[in-house]
Amino acid sequence: MTVLVFLIPAALFLALLGLGAFIWTVKSGQYDDLEGAKWRIFLGDDEDDNIPGG
Amino acid sequence: MSVAKIDDRGCPTMGGPTAMHGAGADPSAFVIEDDGVAHLDLLVRGARCAGCIGKIEGGVNAIPGVVSSALNLSTGKLSVDWAMGGTDPALITRTVSDLGYQVSPYDPGEAQSERDHQGRFLLLCMAVSGFAAMNIMLFSVSVWAGFSGEMQDSTRSLFHWVSALIALPAAAFAGQPFFRPAFASLRKAKANMDVPISLAVLLALAVSLYETMVGGQDTYFDAAVMLLFFLLIGRWLDHRLRGQTRLAARELLALQATSANLLQSDGAVKAVQAREIEPGDMLILWPGDRAPVDGLIVEGASDVDMALVSGESAPELVGAGQSIRAGMVNLTDKLVLRASARTEDSLLADLTRLVEAGETARGRFVKLADKAAQAYVPIVHSLAALSFAGWLLAGAGMHQAVLIAAAVLIITCPCALGLAAPAVQIVAVGRLFKRGVLVKAGDALERLAIVDTVLLDKTGTLTQGKPYLLNAAQIAPEDLQLAALLARSSRHPLSRAIADLAGPGPVAPDAKETPGCGVEGVIDGVRVRLGRADWAGAPKGEDETSGLWLVIEGKAPLHFAFEDALRPDAAQLVAGLKARGLAVQMLSGDREIPAKAAAAQAGIDAISFGLTPQEKIRRVEALVAEGKQVLMIGDGLNDAPALAAANVSISPASAADASQAAADMVLQSAALVPVLAAIDLSKAARGRILQNFLLAAGYNVLAVPLAVFGMVTPMIAAIAMSASSIVVTLNALRPFLRKNTL
């Protein structure tokens, strides 16, 4: 059972990484415009893009 | 009010004349400078798809000097950065309004505080509790799996300690949205839903920590944190539902954050923020500008849109010596105005205050979930206290009695109740949006479901709100085109109607407008006048006052007759409302004859006419005082206070900004019948919420006896809790109505 000494901290560390990543996405404002995000996939970065219905 | 055309998706299209107000406003007073970079926040209305983002950002980025622009589609905020002095801020607003979108500057102070801090905090709490719940469950499942004795006591104790290490800090952070209101309400000696939640979480944690320290078998760390996680999902949904209301409040503020053209003593014109205007300041009001403050006209004469006061769109001619009120729109000619009041003392601010007062009164509406909580909290607390006392009396030890009381609190904790209403409402709001109704507050659906009286405004609500040419069949196309050459140069509603009918085309180069009279010009060497009968030179007749006359030198005068036509589905709406057993009344600011004619066509029997905005509020308040549940449907700026005073309110897509802000729901297209869909769906949603409460109550009836008699283990608590929350959520997602019923 001594393996738990490594496994538990390892599992918790990985989970904390996930939590940290989520907190980063919140803080960097990635949830501030949920409406716009779903439409922006239609906008290409290139100049002559075809906007549907634009 | 916008003149821009709307396509079938609800997006403005190019080609229409620029939006009337705001287009001429100079936003330079709202620019923030920082380290050589200029920043401007604008509120853009009407953007709702990828095409809109592409057009607006593309258009603004194409302005030389602009470094970046970003449009937030959820809030309508457009942030633009450019190198100081690189471009003229007025060019940015003009670009956006030329694309067909209404645009107004954000007050920088408001823009800073507008960030949704609470939403972010709830999201963080949800993430932390979710992380903690999942990781603690990892240990709890191991402990439960080793229950038959495969797990040594020391291992179990280690797992409990690790769980405690995760649960305690996580609950201390993620529990804040519950602990704070619970503490606040206890200090006021009242118990809301947060009290049993906080008590359950804190008691469960305390009991579990004690168990861990003495090496006991059962801990509730997983249950306590999972409880927080489920409840935070409900809170977050609820918060998102209320987001639209916050947006509305900001739009009202943005309406006041206008700029004005100040005429300085040396004759120079300077753009200033409207709230900096002092009484006595001289202001220039160009055609298309909205008066920022009440004032007296010292120079010029022009037609002015008085919709703010009367709700009727027919403009009035005003000249030097007459006063106009804040919010009125100048239509034809330049006016010089001496301010007689500051913005906060002007009519627009008064209306805003009335709207706010109405919204505060509406805040006293008791939501279904709160009603349930009021009945629920005392029962739960006495149950927990009774089982504690009962077990003590039956001879159980203190330790066991506390453990059982904690189990009762955890099992009865209103996870499902907290999810029951917001889960249904967020689904209903999404469905209604697809049917063309934007719902701004979740509880508006609850209020709409119990409505028994419907009040309708006439102009702009039952009717199109703009004049429509009656005798189009009798006018030759070449005469219409000739009239349009003159009409396109004018902002007068009747001219606009002719220009709209004739379609895009050229403008007579020397067209000259005489306020209150008409437009004249020389076309192909012939003098042509379009305007009032006596001015244009038409013969005196019966209908000389109504409509326009086209007088071409050397030809017989031609009459253009107008009427504000009923919306095509107005009668269908009234019939539908009556079929649902609702009392329908019309409140109009218009004169008796047109009001009665419109009511007869729409099929309304009870009408009032000639009402001022104040009288409209009094009508609404009198009905509310009688105990009626009033739905108000209106569009004018003058309707805004009445919209706010009613129990629930709806405004059409064409409504003034302030009315859309004051209304609970905004129709997204020109059709009125979606109101019926909203009523039906709100009733279905109310039924579904009650059903969810019943499910939650049924779960308690099953689980509570187990808890009271000490048969609940941490595993049963965890399963029961998640099962009830999932059942309630699935029930909310079930289709509301059969597809063909709406």
Q: Which domains, and CATH codes, for chain B?
A: 5-115 (3.30.70.100), 278-341 (2.70.150.10), 435-465+566-680 (3.40.50.1000), 468-563 (3.40.1110.10)
Position B357 scores a pLDDT of: 67
Residue B636 contacts residue B459 (beta carbons within 8 Å) = yes
Query: Cβ B53–A39 below 8 Å, yes or no?
Result: yes
- Chain B residues with beta carbon closer than 8 angstroms to that of A54: 50-51, 54-55
For residue B188, give Cα distances in angstroms to B182, B192, B371, B393, B666. Answer: 10, 11, 18, 33, 37
- Chain A residues with beta carbon closer than 8 angstroms to that of B134: 15
Please list the residues that pair with B105 across neighbouring strands.
Answer: B42
Closest residue, chain A, to B134 (C-alpha): A15
Interface probe, candidates B9, B48, B55, B73, chain A, greatest A C-beta count within 10 A: B73
pLDDT at residue A20 greater than cutoff 50: yes
pLDDT at residue B542 greater than cutoff 70: no
Q: What's the distance, Cα to Cα, between the start and end of chain A in Å?
A: 63
Query: Cβ B71–A36 below 8 Å, yes or no?
Result: yes
B459: closest CA of chain A, how far (Å): 32
- Chain A residues with beta carbon closer than 8 angstroms to that of B75: 33
Total count of residues recorded for chain B: 742
pLDDT at residue B111 greater than cutoff 80: no
Query: Cβ A39–B73 below 8 Å, yes or no?
Result: yes
Query: Cβ B50–A54 below 8 Å, yes or no?
Result: yes
For residue B175, give Cα distances in angstroms to B140, B226, B300. Answer: 21, 11, 64
Position B249 scores a pLDDT of: 55
Q: Which residues of B touch A (CB under 8 A)?
A: 9, 49-51, 53-55, 71-75, 116, 120, 123-124, 127-128, 131, 134-135, 138, 155, 158, 162, 166
Q: Which residues of B are catalytic?
A: 457
pLDDT at residue A12 greater than cutoff 70: yes
For B50, the closest of A15, A33, A51 (CB atoms) is A51
- Chain A residues with beta carbon closer than 8 angstroms to that of B9: 53
Please list the residues that pair with B463 across neighbouring strands.
Answer: B566
- Chain A residues with beta carbon closer than 8 angstroms to that of B426: none
Query: Cβ A19–B128 below 8 Å, yes or no?
Result: yes
Written as six digits, the tokens of B233 are 């999902």
For B53, the closest of A22, A34, A40 (CB atoms) is A40
Interface probe, candidates B79, B135, B155, chain A, greatest A C-beta count within 10 A: B135
Please list the residues that pair with B549 across neighbouring strands.
Answer: B531, B559
Q: Which residues of A touch B (CB under 8 A)?
A: 1, 4, 8, 11-12, 15-16, 18-19, 22-23, 26-27, 31-36, 39-43, 49, 51-54
Q: Give the Cα separation of B658 and B173 in Å (integer).
A: 39
Q: How many CA atoms lie within 13 A of B104 on its CB side?
A: 23
Interface probe, candidates B9, B41, B49, chain A, greatest A C-beta count within 10 A: B49
Closest residue, chain A, to B155 (C-alpha): A1
Q: Give the Cα separation of B156 and B576 in Å (integer).
A: 66
Q: Give the Cα separation of B48 and A35 in Å (integer).
A: 8
Residue B410 contacts residue B717 (beta carbons within 8 Å) = yes
What confidence category does residue B1 fall into, taking pLDDT thresholds of 50, 70 and 90?
very low
pLDDT at residue B327 greater than cutoff 90: no
A30: closest CA of chain B, how far (Å): 11
DSSP string, B697-714: HHHHHHHHHHHHTT---H
Closest residue, chain A, to B57 (C-alpha): A43
Residue B459 contacts residue B1 (beta carbons within 8 Å) = no
pLDDT at residue B112 greater than cutoff 50: no
Residues whose CB falls within 8 Å of the CB of residue B508, separated by 6 or more in sequence, listed in order: B485, B486, B489, B521, B522, B523, B528
Position B738 scores a pLDDT of: 55
Contacts for B168-171 with beta carbons within 8 Å, 24 or more apart?
A: B168/B205, B168/B209, B170/B128, B170/B129, B170/B131, B170/B132, B170/B225, B170/B228, B171/B129, B171/B132, B171/B201, B171/B205, B171/B224, B171/B225, B171/B228
Neighbours of B535 (CB within 10 A): 16
DSSP string, B167-227: HHHHHHHHTHHHHHHHHHHHHTT---THHHHHHHHHHHHHHHHHHHHHT-S---HHHHHHH
DSSP string, B568-625: TTHHHHHHHHHHTT-EEEEE-SS-HHHHHHHHHHHT--EEE-S--HHHHHHHHHHHHH
- Chain A residues with beta carbon closer than 8 angstroms to that of B49: 39, 53
- Chain pair A-B, CB pairs under 8 angstroms: 68
Query: Cβ B135–A15 below 8 Å, yes or no?
Result: yes
Query: Number of H helices and number of E strands within chain A?
Result: 2, 0
Closest residue, chain B, to A40 (C-alpha): B50
Closest residue, chain A, to B114 (C-alpha): A32
What are the pLDDT digits (tens) for B138-169?
889 888 887 667 778 888 898 999 999 999 99
Q: Could you give the 3-state DSSP secondary structure of residue B39?
A: strand
Total count of residues recorded for chain A: 54
- Chain A residues with beta carbon closer than 8 angstroms to that of B127: 19, 22-23, 26
B54: closest CA of chain A, how far (Å): 7
At what angle are helices B415-434 and B221-256 packed, to 10 degrees? Answer: 40
Residue B673 contacts residue B572 (beta carbons within 8 Å) = yes
Please list the residues that pair with B531 across neighbouring strands.
Answer: B518, B549
- The better pLDDT of the pair B2, B128 is held by B128
Position B9 scores a pLDDT of: 56
DSSP string, B328-361: -EE-SS-EEEEE-S-GGGSHHHHHHHHHHHHHHH
pLDDT at residue B170 greater than cutoff 90: yes
What's the whole-number mean pLDDT along residues B554-562?
80
- The better pLDDT of the pair B256, B517 is held by B517
Residues whose CB falls within 8 Å of the CB of residue B274, separated by 6 or more in sequence, listed in order: B256, B257, B258, B259, B260, B292, B293, B343
What are the pLDDT digits (tens) for B23-74?
445 677 778 787 888 888 887 877 777 788 888 888 898 888 888 888 887 7
Position B630 scores a pLDDT of: 92
What are the pLDDT digits (tens) for B376-392?
778 888 888 999 999 99
pTM score of the predicted model: 0.73
Written as six digits, the tokens of B503 are 């379609």
Q: Which amino acid is at B282?
A: M
Q: Give the Cα separation of B144 and B503 in Å (integer).
A: 76
Q: Could you give the 3-state DSSP secondary structure of residue B649?
A: strand
Position B573 scores a pLDDT of: 93
Closest residue, chain A, to B72 (C-alpha): A33
Please list the residues that pair with B520 across neighbouring strands.
Answer: B512, B529
What are the pLDDT digits (tens) for B570-619?
999 999 999 999 999 998 877 787 788 888 888 998 888 888 777 888 89
pLDDT at residue B295 greater than cutoff 80: yes
Question: What is the percentage of chain B residues whose pLDDT exceeds 70?
Answer: 86
Position B580 scores a pLDDT of: 92
Closest residue, chain B, to A12 (C-alpha): B135
pLDDT at residue B4 greater than cutoff 70: no
What's the whole-number mean pLDDT along residues B501-520?
81
A36: closest CA of chain B, how far (Å): 5
Tell me what the pLDDT averaged over chain B comes to: 81
Q: Could you give the 3-state DSSP secondary structure of residue B305?
A: strand
Written as six digits, the tokens of B460 are 């702009």
Query: Cβ B54–A51 below 8 Å, yes or no?
Result: yes
Query: Nearest-CA neighbor of B161 among B102, B117, B221, B97?
Result: B221
Please list the residues that pair with B273 across neighbouring strands.
Answer: B259
Query: Cβ A16–B131 below 8 Å, yes or no?
Result: yes
CA B368 to chain centre: 21
What confidence category does residue A45 fall into, taking pLDDT thresholds of 50, 70 and 90?
low
Q: Give the Cα separation of B511 and B713 in Å (integer).
A: 87
Closest residue, chain A, to B152 (C-alpha): A1
Residue B586 contacts residue B463 (beta carbons within 8 Å) = no
pLDDT at residue B132 greater than cutoff 50: yes
The bridge status of strand B630-633 relative to strand B648-651 is parallel
For A52, the closest of B50, B53, B134 (CB atoms) is B50
Alpha helices in B279-414 (DSSP H): 307-310, 347-362, 368-393, 398-412
Query: Nearest-CA neighbor of B133 among B220, B236, B235?
Result: B220
Residue B229 contacts residue B126 (beta carbons within 8 Å) = yes
- Chain A residues with beta carbon closer than 8 angstroms to that of B71: 36
Q: Give the Cα separation of B424 and B683 in Å (integer).
A: 12
By CB neighbour count within 10 A (0-12 exposed, 13-18 middle, 19+ buried), where does A14 fall?
exposed
* Residue found under tokens 């240990």: B139
